[in-house]
Structure 1
Amino acid sequence: MLLENQVCFDVHAASRALDGVYRKELRELGLTYPQYLAMMVLWERQPVTVKELGVALRLDSGTLSPLLKRLEVAGLVHRERSAADERSVLVRLTPEGAGLRRRALEVPGRIFEATGLDLAEVLELQGTLRRLTAALDEAADHG
C-alpha cells in the first residue's frame, strides 16, 4: 500500500498543483480560487441563491458564507434576502464584480497552457474526472 500507487493521492497532488497555478494567475484579480469559481457562476447567471451557489460549487454554507462575505467586502457582490422567500439569500454582482469578468477572460487560456496537455487530452481528462466524481458520489450516497 504505497502512497505513489494511490489514485486518491494523484488526484490530490494534481489538484494542489492546479491550485498553485490558479493562485499565481488570480493574484492580479485579487481573487482566491474558490472566489473565482463563485464569480464564474455569477458571471454565467445571476442572481443566484446562496443555496444554488453552494450546490454549483459543491460547498457547504459554512465554507460559502465567509467566501461571499469577503467578496462583498471587496465590493464584488451584494447579498440580499429574497422578496419571494425571506429564507433565501440572493447573490448578485456589483458593477465592479461584473467588470472584473473582462480581466478574468484570459485566465482559462493560461491555465490550459500550463497543463501541457492538448485539447483532446483535456477533454478526455474532464470526461474521466466527471465519471469518477459521479461514481464516487454514488458510492458515498449508498455506502
Structure 2
Amino acid sequence: MTATTPAPAPEAEWLHLDRQICFSLHAASRAFNGVYRVLLKDLRLTYPQYLVMLVLWEHGDLPVKKLGEHLRLDSGTLSPLLKRLETAGLVHRERSARDERSVEVRLTEQGTALREQAFEVPRRIMAATGFDLDGIRDLKDRLDQLTGALDAAAAEEGAR
C-alpha cells in the first residue's frame, strides 16, 4: 500500500448505508425525480410519462412491447401510463391490423406539438446538476457501462 492508496474499509463498514453505491444511485434518482416533477408540471407530465414521450418523439409509432423494451418496463407497468397519456390526448393506442396481439402506440397532434415545449427540460436539468455538457456525457457513459455490467452479472447469476 502506498501513501496515496487508501486503506480498505474494514469489513464491518461494508454494510453501512453511506458505503452503498446502490443507495447513492437511488438517492440521485429520487433527487432527479424531484427536479423533473417541477420542470414537467407545465407540460402536465409525470417523469415516467415524459420518458414514454421521449421514446415516441425519437422513434415514432411503436408497439407497446418495443416501447417497453426501450424503457425497460413491462406491459403491466406501461399500460396505465399509456392509458393516462391517451386520456390526456397525447397518444392513441390501437390493435395492430397485422397482429391482433400487438397494440401500436402513436402520438396525436397534441402529443407531437408538446415536443416543442419540452426542449427546455434537458437544458434546465443540466443547469440543475451543475455539470457542464462534457461532465453530463461522462456520467451518462459511466452509468451506461455500469448498467451493462450489472445486466451481464444478473444474466450470469440467473444462468447458475
Q: Give the TM-score, by structure 1 length.
A: 0.98
Letter of the 1:35 partner, please give it: Q
Residue from 80, 93, 104 that aligns with 2:118: 104
Which whole-Å CA distance do the structure 2 matches of 1:12 and 1:81 have between them? Answer: 36
Using the TM superposition, give the Cα deviation of residue 142 of structure 1 relative to its aligned residue in structure 2, in angstroms. Answer: 1.2
CA positional deviation for 1:6? 0.5
Q: Which amino acid is 1:41 matched to?
A: V
The residue type equivalent to 1:36 in the other structure is Y
Question: Is 1:16 the counterpart of 2:30 in the alignment?
Answer: yes
Q: Which one is further off, 66-75 or 39-48? A: 39-48
1:125 paired residue among 139, 148, 155? 139
Structure 1 vs Structure 2 CA RMSD: 0.7
Structure whose CA Rg is larger: 2
2:128 corresponds to which of 91, 99, 114? 114
Q: Which amino acid aligns with 1:51?
A: K
Q: CA deviation at 1:69?
A: 0.3
Match 1:65 to one of 79, 85, 93: 79
User: Could you report, residue by residue, the CA deviation over 1:4-33 in whole angstroms, capped at 9, with x for unpaired residues?
Assistant: 011000000000000110000000100000
Post-superposition Cα deviations, 1:107-127, rounded to whole Å, max 9, x if no partner, equal 000001000011221111011
The answer as to 2:18 corresponding to 1:4 is yes
- TM-score normalised over the length of structure 2: 0.88
Gaps of 5+ in 2: 1-14
Q: After superposition, give the CA deviation of every residue in 1:25-84 in whole Å (9 maximum; x if it has no partner).
A: 000100000100100111112210000000000111111000000000001000001111
Instruction: Report the counterpart of residue 140 of structure 1 in structure 2.
Output: 154
Q: Secondary structure at the match of 1:29?
A: coil
Structure having greater relative contact order (Cα 8 Å, sep ≥ 6)? 1
The equivalent residue for 2:6 is: none
Partner of 2:11: none
Task: Output the CA distance in 1 between the equivalents of 2:112 and 2:100.
Answer: 25
Equivalences, count: 143
Unaligned stretches of 5+ in structure 1? none
Q: What pairs up with 1:87-98 in 2 under 5 angstroms?
A: 87-98=101-112
What is the rounded CA distance, in whole Å, between the counterparts of 1:41 and 1:83 in structure 2? 22
Identity of counterpart residues, as a percentage? 63
